Amino acid sequence: MPVRRNRRPLLQTRYTRPSGDGSQTADASAPAGVHSGALVPKGGEHRPHAGRTWRTFRAPAAHRDTTAVLGGAYPFLAGRPSTARLYVGRDTVTGAPFTYDPWQLYAAQAVSNTNILIVGNIGWGKTNTAMAIALRGIATGHPVTVPGDPKNDWTRLAAALGGQAIRLGPGQGDRLNPLDPGPRPPGSDSDTWRHQVDQRRATLLVAIVETLAPGLAPLHPQAREALTEALQSTCRASSTPTLHQLVNRLEDNPTPAAAPIRASLAQLCTGPLSGLLDQPATTVPDPDAPMIAVGTADLADNDTAHTLAVLVATSQLEQAHATGQQRILVYDEAWRILAAPAHLARVNAELRLSRARGTATILITHALSDADKTADAGTATAATARGLASLCDTRLAFRQAPGELDRTAADLHLTRAECDAVAVLGKGEALWKIGTTGRRIRTGLGTAEAALFNTDTAITASDTAGPTNGTDSRDRTGAADTSAGSSRSK
């Protein structure tokens, strides 16, 4: 093997050395302009060939040399091999495979929680990456739940994987009933389960009332008491309670506190919102499904209907899964969550309790400035919305919308070098900020995954298109094996 001949040193460092009398004298190799006693900056000097970098070096693919020379030319520049179970893609700086497992990272104390925030402009690969994490999570034993899918991308994926796709809206055959108790977990105590069901129903109905009548929020104690009393009597009198029955019970209550609650819930029984939540359920979440996705595309134009549907779906999906079961919870188009106070409070609690519940919650949004549009600046609601990013210790920054980079850098605590990297990211490539470590990763998709994850079907009119959003097609073989194995396992 030919030996590399010495040309310009790969790493040049100016330094000073102590003289015999203890003073500092400049090295003879120091260029003109470096005064005696000047020390090298901690991060290196601002000049070519100074070895400055915010990430590890990548050796040229065509470079060949002896191991002895390479050990001196590239000392300590190769990162540790990744040992997590979920393959994601490749590091675009080093070319090394990148794997990820939030629970494994939490066990190693590399992160403080298992939550994931994905932010970036439209069309740069956010949903594709989230779907890759979800699909490969299923392959490693982590079921996925999507309480609201306003574009039907996730319901299409759930159906393809043999999971449960629930589609809500006019003309759809699926309906959810907020008063439905749901399936009883195997081995659970009967009294404990009924108590949990009562609590879940009451909490959900309070959120529904406050969404339908924001002027009543927060419900005062008398109104809560009237609602709880009517709810308990309705559920005792019928094995299949509905909102129609609950509204009739509230109408029989002569107390002044019951009237505004009855008027609020009556909107779901008559008018444009009727038929959405006021009938017996035609489907219930299947706790054994690898993925459950609730499609709300037919409700996307009605913010109130969409909010109510996702509230009910979130409550019932939470009841379907056993506490402590490691699962992935996805909130796509999170700007809708930020716009609804009831959603915001629930997601805030979900993020804070993720360790106790065993969940890894993925929030996907276009811009962090969406939090500023939820409420007036300085209010508790605005502070809660802006604080969601701090509850996610894994943050993925894709290419940002014009004018959003400074806000993203401030909220995600990016360095200047990381900001410069985000500004030039390609499609399917993101800056992964895990704890305090940043890496540039391009998501790798197999051919089957690229077809399943295609979120541009409305534009391309094809469900069989190749890799979209600039994903790495060099890793098709391994990724395709993962997706095929997931489908066959069901």
What's the pTM?
0.77
In a shared domain, residues 359 and 462: yes
Distance of alpha carbon 423 from alpha carbon 429, whole angstroms: 11
In a shared domain, residues 466 and 335: yes
Lowest mean pLDDT: which of 60-74, 124-138, 172-186, 196-210? 60-74
Mean pLDDT of 98-118: 93
In a shared domain, residues 44 and 101: no
Backbone angles phi, psi at 441, to 5 degrees: -125, 135
Mean pLDDT of 108-115: 93
Mean pLDDT of 13-23: 47
Q: What is the pLDDT of residue 144?
A: 95
How far, in Å, are 57, 79, 248, 409, 417 from residue 422 at the CA level? Answer: 18, 21, 57, 9, 9
Letter string b/e over residues 307-321, b meaning 16 or more CB atoms within 10 A of that residue's CB? bbbbbbbbbbbbbbb
Lowest mean pLDDT: which of 83-87, 191-195, 221-225, 416-420? 83-87
In a shared domain, residues 411 and 463: yes
Q: What is the pLDDT of residue 192?
A: 87
- Residue 113 pLDDT level (bands cut at 50, 70, 90): very high
Summarised one tens digit per residue, pLDDT across range 191-200 is 888 888 999 9
Summarised one tens digit per residue, pLDDT across range 285-323 is 888 899 999 999 998 788 889 999 999 998 888 877 766
- Residues 115 and 351: beta-carbon distance below 8 Å: yes
In a shared domain, residues 353 and 477: yes
Indicate whether 457 belongs to any domain. Answer: yes
Mean pLDDT of 135-160: 93
* Residue 455: pLDDT over 90: no
- Residue 164 pLDDT level (bands cut at 50, 70, 90): very high
Last residue of a domain, one of 266, 289, 312: 266
Distance of alpha carbon 125 from alpha carbon 453, whole angstroms: 10
Q: What is the pLDDT of residue 340?
A: 81
Could you write out the DSSP letters of every residue in 338-359? HH-HHHHHHHHHHHHTHHHHTE
CATH code assigned at 444: 3.40.50.300
Contacts of 365 (CB under 8 A, 6+ apart): 117, 118, 119, 333, 334, 335, 338
Q: What is the pLDDT of residue 27?
A: 47
Summarised one tens digit per residue, pLDDT across range 22-56 is 444 444 444 544 444 455 565 566 777 666 655 55
In a shared domain, residues 357 and 462: yes
In a shared domain, residues 197 and 258: yes
Helices and strands, counts by H and E, the chain = 18, 13
User: What is the average pLDDT score of the chain?
Assistant: 81
How far, in Å, are 69, 135, 137, 327 from residue 141 at the CA level? Answer: 45, 10, 6, 8
Q: What is the pLDDT of residue 370?
A: 79
Instruction: For residue 328, give the amino acid letter.
Output: I
Indicate whether 162 belongs to any domain. Answer: no
3-state secondary structure of 363: strand
Mean pLDDT of 172-181: 90
State which residues form the domain around 208.
190-266
Backbone angles phi, psi at 118, to 5 degrees: -120, 120
Indicate whether 293 belongs to any domain. Answer: no
Lowest mean pLDDT: which of 80-84, 86-90, 456-460, 472-476? 472-476
Letter string b/e over residues 5-17, b meaning 16 or more CB atoms within 10 A of that residue's CB? eeeeeeeeebebe
Indicate whether 166 belongs to any domain. Answer: no
- Residue 479 pLDDT level (bands cut at 50, 70, 90): very low
Hey, what's the torsion of the CAs at 333, 347, 288, 238, to 10 degrees?
-110
For residue 22, what are its two tokens?
């203890």
Nearest to 146 by CA among 171, 168, 113: 168
Indicate whether 291 belongs to any domain. Answer: no
393 vs 181: which has the higher pLDDT: 393
Distance of alpha carbon 313 from alpha carbon 297, whole angstroms: 14
Name the domain count of the chain. 3
Last residue of a domain, one of 232, 248, 266: 266
* Residue 190: pLDDT over 70: yes
Percent of the chain with pLDDT over 70: 76
- Residue 431 pLDDT level (bands cut at 50, 70, 90): very high
* Residue 462: pLDDT over 50: no
Summarised one tens digit per residue, pLDDT across range 341-359 is 888 888 999 999 998 888 9
* Residue 232: pLDDT over 80: yes
In a shared domain, residues 346 and 457: yes
267 vs 72: which has the higher pLDDT: 267
Summarised one tens digit per residue, pLDDT across range 274-289 is 889 999 999 888 888 9
Last residue of a domain, one of 38, 59, 82: 82
Lowest mean pLDDT: which of 19-23, 115-119, 395-399, 473-477? 473-477
Indicate whether 394 belongs to any domain. Answer: yes
Distance of alpha carbon 489 from alpha carbon 291, whole angstroms: 13
Mean pLDDT of 222-227: 94
Nearest to 289 by CA among 320, 330, 319, 329: 320
Q: What is the pLDDT of residue 312?
A: 92
Indicate whether 280 belongs to any domain. Answer: no
Indicate whether 155 belongs to any domain. Answer: no
In a shared domain, residues 49 and 99: no
Distance of alpha carbon 346 from alpha carbon 94, whole angstroms: 40
In a shared domain, residues 115 and 46: no
* Residue 69: pLDDT over 80: no
* Residue 9: pLDDT over 70: no
Q: What is the pLDDT of residue 259?
A: 94
In a shared domain, residues 99 and 78: no
In a shared domain, residues 404 and 366: yes
Residues in a beta bridge with 107? none
Residues in a beta bridge with 206? none
Distance of alpha carbon 299 from alpha carbon 33, whole angstroms: 68
- Residue 402 pLDDT level (bands cut at 50, 70, 90): confident
Nearest to 471 by CA among 449, 434, 444: 444
* Residue 324: pLDDT over 70: no
Q: What is the pLDDT of residue 484?
A: 36
